[in-house]
Structure 1
Amino acid sequence: MQGVLTGFVVVASLVAVGYALGRAGVLGPAGQTVVSRLVFFVGSPALLVQTLADADVHVLFSGQLLVAAGGVLVTLVLWVPVAVLRWRLPRGEVVVGGLAGSFVNAANIGLPVAAYVLGDLTAVLPAMLLQMVVLAPAAVALLDLSGRSGRVGLAGLLVPLANPVLLASVAGIALSVTGWSLPTALSQPLGLLAGLAVPGALLAFGLSLHGREGRGWRAPPVLYASALKAFVQPLATWLVARALGLPDAAVYAATVVAALPTAQNVFTYAVRYEVGRELARDSVLVTTVLLAPVLLLVSVLLPH
């Protein structure tokens, strides 16, 4: 549990700083939006290029990728019909809620958990690559399109292709596949900009907590998305891993990664497209609180 506690301390510290900044009004009323946009347009693309360029893309075709994809698919299948038919949420909120129920915090919490709980930093790589290469580009493309009213012509359909998340993913994969390395004059500035992504997202999340409605987490969509993320996704991942015949250690690792809370990236996307902010923010909060008991339960029940 040391890894979980380390992750909590890191997250809580930066979120607390963001909250303090919001309470003091240091960044003004638009501070949260400015920080979130900086993360979306600068920090996240730089981190994507840097991470994917150094990653082994063969992981994309591994059994662990299929396991991670299976868990995500189950949560989306359970989320979308309820969000559309029962609550009749706008398309943008359906996308944000789907991410809230499936997009794991593989960076600032996942890496410490992988290091101290699993003893293997590469355990989070399949989920991270799935999110960077498939989920994030697909989600921002849908959010781009959902923000457009009326008929969408060819020009409108091409707009998502210019999204920084998608372009950064393509660039990172291209570097990995070709084996090319960026010159030092480019890689070092890129690394500095990539350092904005995680702390920036956490600061923006902390800024959003100032002045929030204290009971917002009780909203049915928030509770449902959080339950899918905290309980259903790990269970579905475990079932898929067992069905594929993975060894106990791999099943345990995949289940632990699936139990990670909703990533702050989801809130960043919600702020960028001005849709589902409360849903994203409160889902991140609820799933982060649930992480410790869920991981304890997984560690007790599963052989590893």
Structure 2
Amino acid sequence: MGLLSAMQGFVVIAIIIGTGYATARLNIGGPSAQMVLNRYAFFVTNPFLMFAILSKEPIANIFNQSIVVAFFSAVATGALFLLLNRLFFHMGPADATVGTLNSLYLNSNNIGLPIATYILGNPTLVAPILVMQQAIFAPIALTVLDYAATGKISFKRALGQLLRQPLLIGSLGGILVSVISARTGFYPIPKFIYDPIYMIGQAAVPMILMAFGMSLHGTRPMENKSSRPAVIAVTVLKNVVMPLIAFLIAFFIMEFRGKVLYACVVLAALPAGQNVYNFAARYNVGTTFARDGVLISTITSPSVIALIAALLD
């Protein structure tokens, strides 16, 4: 029953992506609609969502031992893509960054939350991944993409880039409120302030998914023959290699068993996050590669998660 509910979550996501595609096909919103949605999600709704989720989460749930598995399995998978790129694909910094993100960046929001809820029975399991990706992987990747777009980089600029990331600011703000709540015993944000933050944040997922759907209009997935091997590689890395690495780390190094082991492997099998496309679109680099990697891994992920459920649950 839990697996069926999770598959229904994928259907919900497909419907929203399809709505974005239909919107673009009907030219609703004009030619700049996709860009506007991407920018609004990047600067407004995503940070609000992260703040709303993390501020309400007990700090002990945000940071737990499962983050060790998530971090090292992601780093190992990203390193494997960089190795493959050096040996076979020979992409530039921008596309290589997008490929690395497609290999290791989990869709922890709009797919991770339903799967954690319906399959794993605990939506807070995605909280450490949210923090890890926003506080570590996203700032590094965005700094590289910024360099690819501007051709300039310095330590001062990199630090400023890190501090200017809306997603990171929203995440750190939420963590700070969570710490205050744990210390004082009550939630310090008044309801009349939290409610609009939460409401705006709720728009993040449909905005990103609809923008992603809009990007599909007028193009065909995998139409760029030169990038097909790389797209296939990131899909295999994301959907097969990363959960396998997570299993090895969780089972043999962390000595997790039962539900904890199962959760680590299922979460590692999540598809690449739509934020990867959002990041690429923000800097107008590697957008086709990002779109194809996200789309193909999203299509194949349910089958992999079903197999993991059959083997470990």
- Same fold at TM > 0.5: yes
In structure 2, give the amino acid aligned to 1:195.
Answer: Q
Structure 2 counterpart of 1:184: 191
- What amino acid is aligned across from residue 309 of structure 2 in structure 1? S
Q: In structure 1, what residue type is equivalent to 2:239?
A: A
Aligned residue in 2 for 1:37: 39
Which secondary structure state, in structure 2, belongs to the residue aligned with residue 7 of structure 1?
A: helix
Aligned residues of 1:103 and 1:263 also touching (Cα < 8 A): yes
Partner of 2:216: 209
CA contact (8 A) 1:23 1:210 kept: yes
1:120 is matched by which residue type in structure 2?
A: N
- Classify 1:37/1:151 alpha carbon distance in 2 versus 1 (closer, same or farther; 3 Å): closer
User: Which residue of 281, 284, 290 corresponds with 2:291?
Assistant: 281
Opposite residue 209 of structure 1, the aligned amino acid is L
Paired position in structure 2 for 1:199: 206
Aligned partners of 1:72 and 1:229: how far apart in 2? Answer: 9
Aligned partner of 1:237 in structure 2 is 246
What SS does the corresponding residue of 1:216 show, helix, strand or coil?
A: coil
Greater than 4 Å deviation, 4+ residue runs:
none
The alpha-carbon deviation at position 58 of structure 1 amounts to 3.0
* 2:237 alignment partner AA: L
Alpha-carbon contact 2:62-2:127 (below 8 Å) kept: no
The aligned counterpart of 2:279 is: 269
Residues in 2 aligned to 1:184 and 1:249: alpha-carbon distance in whole angstroms: 35
The answer to whether the 8 A contact 2:54-2:127 is kept is no
The equivalences for 1:7-22 within 5 A come to 7-22=9-24
Matched-pair contact (CA < 8 Å) for 2:57–2:124: no
Equivalenced residue count is 303
CA distance in 2 between counterparts of 1:65 and 1:150 reads 33
Contact map agreement 1:20 1:207 (CA 8 A) in 2 = yes
The answer on whether the counterparts of 2:139 and 2:161 sit within 8 Å (CA) in structure 1 is no
Amino acid at match of 1:237: A
Q: Give the partner amino acid of 2:310.
A: V
- Distance in 2, matches of 1:119 and 1:163, equals 32
Relative distance call for 1:217 and 1:181 in structure 2 (3 A) is farther
Unpaired stretches in structure 1, ≥5 consecutive residues: none
SS in 2 for 1:118: coil
Task: Give percent identity, aligned residues only.
Answer: 34
Q: Secondary structure at the match of 2:285?
A: coil
Aligned mates of 1:278, 1:235 — CA distance in 2 = 27
Partner SS state of residue 294, structure 1:
helix
Match of 1:49 in 2: 51
**Unpaired segments of 5 or more residues in structure 2?**
182-186
Structure 2 CA distance, aligned partners of 1:77 and 1:153?
23
Compared with structure 1, are the counterparts of its residues 162 and 292 closer, same or farther at alpha carbon in structure 2 (3 Å cutoff)? closer
Which amino acid counterpart does residue 101 of structure 1 have in structure 2? S
TM-score, structure 2 as length reference: 0.90
Q: What is the distance in 2 between the residues matched to 1:187 and 1:181?
A: 10
* Alpha-carbon distance change, 215 to 150 in structure 1, aligned in 2, over 3 angstroms: closer
**Aligned match of 1:158:** 160
Aligned twin of 2:306: 296
Cα distance 1:159–1:132, how it changes in 2: closer, same or farther (>3 A)? Answer: closer
Shift of 1:159: 3.4
